[in-house]
Structure 1
Amino acid sequence: MRIFIVHAHPEPKSFNGALTRTAQEALSASGHEVVVSDLYAMGFNPVSDRRNFTTTLDVNFYRQQAEEANAAVHDGFAPDIQVEMDKLFRCDVLILQFPLWWFGLPAILKGWVDRVFASGGRIYGGGKWYDRGVFAGKRAMCSVTIGGPPPIYSSRGLNGPIAEILFPINHGMLYFVGFTVIEPFLVHAPARIGDDERRIFLDRYRERVLSLAHAPTIAYPKLAEFDDMHVLKST
């Protein structure tokens, strides 16, 4: 398989860094092709604006989706975006590796999604979304470190269920463009656990990445289950 890891942590010696290195080593040793975009090391620009494009549709008023559609037709995406798109199209599995910051993605990773997941048919649009999306048949997974312990992210916890917190990412980003979404790999409070427990998590992650082809996935509704107004049909 071809695995594409988008890594978003500023410190190479972090536990996020250890998770990515574990995945690289395990997958490569098993004969898989691994490509990593280390966003901080790359100095990736997360700001989405006219610099996304080498083409221009309207010089007087910036409409991002219109410019994306125009760029899709005229191969007008900036080189840094096109390179990331090429990695997406080549991979069989996408892994987003990140720490949970303010109940969401770090800004650099959110900006990567904003810039790379372009509309106008390149990544989505024209009826290409959810199970009919461009990346239907590919898999994606979030590998996430979380500052607090599991109980606070439960249905009775103060922060609420972690599945609900990750829903905008798993459903609204990954499934939206067609990926089959693998259950996330979660590590709670890595800074508060000892070396032995961290090694256990790394061993578990090694097992997870080596089973990406058949790892459990999140069941989301299909487009055929909704009517023309995108409301769930009566059963």
Structure 2
Amino acid sequence: MYEATPQKQQQQRQRQQPKKILVVSAHPEPQSLNATLTTVAVEHLRAAGHEVRVSDLYAMKWKAGLDADDYLDHAPDRRLKVLTAAGQATLAGRLSPDIAAEQEKLLWSDAVILQFPMWWFSVPAILKGWMDRVFTNEFCDGSTVPPPYSEGALGGRRALVSVTLGARESSFSDRGIHGPLSDVLFPLQHGLFWFTGMSPLEPFAVYGCNELPEERYEEAKQAYIRRLDGLFTDEPVPFRTLTGGDYGRDLRLLPGVEEPGSGGLQLHVRPAG
């Protein structure tokens, strides 16, 4: 009789346990593919027994620009030193209410999904503003939280990028003119998720979405559902830890740690095996 391995048993338990998921959506059109994928994620995850909260940034009229108003005790005649002001306001519980609410959602969550269209090789400005304002000093980085690129302030959470792209998939390949998608998304995957301790999964991407025929539209939804089923069981991108002995005191990768012939941003991913 078939007997599940301990790893399979653990994966089955993870599937059965309800989780808390935050979906952050950034598209101005309620009838867009991004809005559809957000709905697919929310409905499928809730049907699986998970709790889901949504931050629809356009619907929320999210303020994208960081300024002194984010820090309630900052005097208007005082020079704004963002790192210092953010850290002090975070520790004192004196952040603007919209920032505090989003931080509470992050702390509540077991996983975070970012849903957005790629615009000019990056996220929409409203989503960048969410990151700039919500990921404050002393919340996800600073002297009072765990070090980055290891356990991190938001350690233990999964993170998934779900992105739509107008270009064809081949243009984001290793020899594609836009560069590998993993390189383009490195600031998110490594610089936001992994820096703060979250475990990023391989991104879910829908290419050629500007003129997506109906059959591919449905294929994209079904493919996304399959990825959502692995949100807590798929292996995350194996980025190197800051404390794992791969980096020197100058924060540079030590010589000879990488595989022969490797280079670029992939240096910061542990080789297989």
The verdict on a shared fold, with TM-score over 0.5 as the criterion, is: yes
Counterpart selection for 1:147 from 140, 147, 166: 166
- Residue 84 of structure 1 is matched in structure 2 by 102
- Residue 214 of structure 1 deviates from its aligned partner by 0.9
- Residue 35 of structure 2 is matched in structure 1 by 17
* TM-score normalized by the length of structure 1: 0.96
- Does residue 132 (structure 1) correspond to residue 131 (structure 2)? The answer is no
- Partners of 2:68 and 2:76 within 8 A in 1: no
- Partners of 1:57 and 1:66 within 8 A in 2: no
In the aligned structure 2, how far is the partner of 1:228 from the partner of 1:96?
33
- Does residue 185 (structure 1) correspond to residue 207 (structure 2)? The answer is no
**Structure (1 or 2) with the larger CA radius of gyration:** 2
* 1:86-235 paired onto structure 2 within 5 Å: 86-119=104-137, 121-126=138-143, 128-224=147-243, 225-234=246-255, 235=257
In the aligned structure 2, how far is the partner of 1:130 from the partner of 1:104?
22
- Residue 57 of structure 1 deviates from its aligned partner by 7.0
More helix per residue:
1
In the aligned structure 1, how far is the partner of 2:69 from the partner of 2:76?
14
Amino acid aligned to 1:12: P
- Residue 58 of structure 1 deviates from its aligned partner by 8.4
Aligned residues: CA RMSD? 1.4
Moved more, 36-45 or 188-197: 188-197
SS of the aligned residue for 1:130 comes to coil
In the aligned structure 2, how far is the partner of 1:78 from the partner of 1:219?
35
- Higher RCO (Cα < 8 Å, 6 or more apart): 1
Amino acid aligned to 2:253: L
- Partners of 2:72 and 2:95 within 8 A in 1: yes
- Partners of 2:71 and 2:94 within 8 A in 1: yes
| Percent identical residues | 36
SS of the aligned residue for 1:21 comes to helix
Amino acid aligned to 1:16: N
* TM-score normalized by the length of structure 2: 0.83
- Partners of 2:57 and 2:127 within 8 A in 1: yes
Show CA shifts across 1:119-151 (max 9, x none).
Answer: 1x2121125312131111111010000010011
Superposition misfits of 4+ residues, deviation over 4 angstroms: none
In the aligned structure 1, how far is the partner of 2:97 from the partner of 2:65?
15
Query: Which sections of structure 1, spanning at least 5 residues, go unmatched?
Result: none
In the aligned structure 2, how far is the partner of 1:59 from the partner of 1:171?
37
Moved more, 181-190 or 213-222: 213-222
Counterpart selection for 2:65 from 33, 36, 47: 47
